[in-house]
Amino acid sequence: MNTIFSVVCFAAIMALSSAHMCLINPHQRGSMMGLNKAGSDDCILLTGPCGGRAISTPTAILNPGKNTTVTLQKNLDHWAKATPGYFAVTIMQGTMMKEIGRVMDMGEPSLHLYSVEAMVPTGMTIGGAVLQATYVTNNSQAPAVFYQCADVKVEM
């Protein structure tokens, strides 16, 4: 009985510590160390919003009404064929929170890069905003959502 419990606990810990998603462009908050290896410590953030990382210096300029390209990395795969997940990009400013792009997880391998073409909403004010990327796994054997954020500046 103790052996089975130990195996179940080990599997649960591995599931909670093994999925990762990185925000490449704009540059995610914190470090981007180890992105070329699956399972990078800088790419596992499980607490929303923004994985609990503090606000940083803006790493990109966004213009309302214009397209922007967001580049994400599936740092470690958690695709489930029966219930595929997705990557979403949301922009947040003040009380406004709007999803501006989404791409499906189609079972690409770890370290795969995704480009999400997104329209920056009109009506945003000049100043700081947050671009949040999420990996919604839809996999009961993995954490539900992984988070990354980039601090951006909105200009006309």
Residue 26 and residue 60 in contact, taking contact as beta carbons nearer than 8 Å: yes
Q: For residue 114, which phi and psi values (nearest 5 degrees)?
A: -120, 140
Going from N- to C-terminal start, the domains of the chain cover 2-154
Look at residue 6 and tell me whether its pLDDT is greater than 50. no
* Cβ neighbours of residue 32 closer than 8 Å, sequence gap 6 or more: 22, 24, 42
For residues 62 and 69, what is the distance between their CA atoms, to the nearest angstrom? 10
Query: Which CATH number describes the domain made up of 2-154?
Result: 2.60.40.1930
Model confidence, pTM: 0.85
For the chain, the average pLDDT equals 88
DSSP letter (8 states) at residue 15: H
Q: How confident is the model over 13-36, as a mean pLDDT?
A: 76
Look at residue 86 and tell me whether its pLDDT is greater than 90. yes
Q: Both tokens of residue 93?
A: 């400013």
Can you give the C-alpha Rg of the chain in angstroms? 16
Give the confidence band of 63 by pLDDT, cuts at 50, 70, 90: very high
